[in-house]
């Protein structure tokens, strides 16, 4: 059975701890990954790794919470709220967003799409 709660916790904890490599271990090799819902998706884990490799260089002081909004065997919708500080500017950002995720039988991410609103303090 797919464990969306555990997956989301691991994903968010790795982000909080600035461990992009750990996040990428949660992805299947072939994936449909939308960093932005209107962009063309990335389709290989290797293409996503650079996005997460820069996180430790541009973010710090991350805190979050999340709730599973809905899930079934096919997909899951996750609401998240995050606060982070951008390292180059020290601007604090508050993010309110939603992920749509799909996992394979090994609980690896095969689909990721996010919608988010970011407000700077």
Predicted local distance difference test score (pLDDT) of residue 98: 98
- Helix (H) or strand (E) run with residue 35 in it: none
pTM here? Answer: 0.94
Q: Which two tokens stand for residue 45?
A: 């884990």
Predicted local distance difference test score (pLDDT) of residue 121: 87
Q: Do 69 and 77 form a contact (C-beta atoms < 8 A)?
A: yes
Angle at 42 between CA 39 and CA 44, to 5 degrees: 175
Predicted local distance difference test score (pLDDT) of residue 39: 93
Q: Give residue for tokens 């500080």.
A: 85
Q: Do 17 and 11 form a contact (C-beta atoms < 8 A)?
A: no
pLDDT, tens digit, 9 for 90 and up, residues 8-37: 999 999 999 999 999 999 999 999 999 999
Q: Give residue for tokens 């999340």.
A: 66
Q: Which two tokens stand for residue 38?
A: 């209107």
Domain extent at residue 24: 4-120
Q: How many domains does the chain have?
A: 1
State the CATH number of the domain containing residue 84: 3.10.450.50
Task: Calculate Rg over the CA atoms of the chain.
Answer: 14
Q: Which residues in the chain come in under a pLDDT of 50?
A: none
Q: How far apart are CA 94 and CA 61, in angstroms?
A: 12
């Amino acid at each position: 059975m797919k464990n969306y709660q555990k997956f989301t916790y691991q994903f968010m904890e790795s982000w909080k701890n600035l461990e992009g490599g750990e996040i990428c271990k949660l992805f299947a090799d072939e994936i449909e990954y939308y960093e932005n819902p209107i962009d063309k998706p990335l389709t290989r884990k290797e293409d996503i790794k650079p996005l997460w490799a820069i996180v430790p260089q541009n973010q710090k002081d991350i805190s979050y919470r999340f709730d599973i909004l809905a899930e079934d065997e096919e997909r899951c919708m996750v609401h998240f709220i995050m606060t982070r500080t951008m390292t180059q500017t020290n601007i604090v950002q508050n993010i309110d967003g939603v992920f749509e995720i799909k996992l394979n039988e090994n609980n690896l991410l095969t689909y990721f799409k996010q919608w988010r609103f970011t407000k700077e303090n």
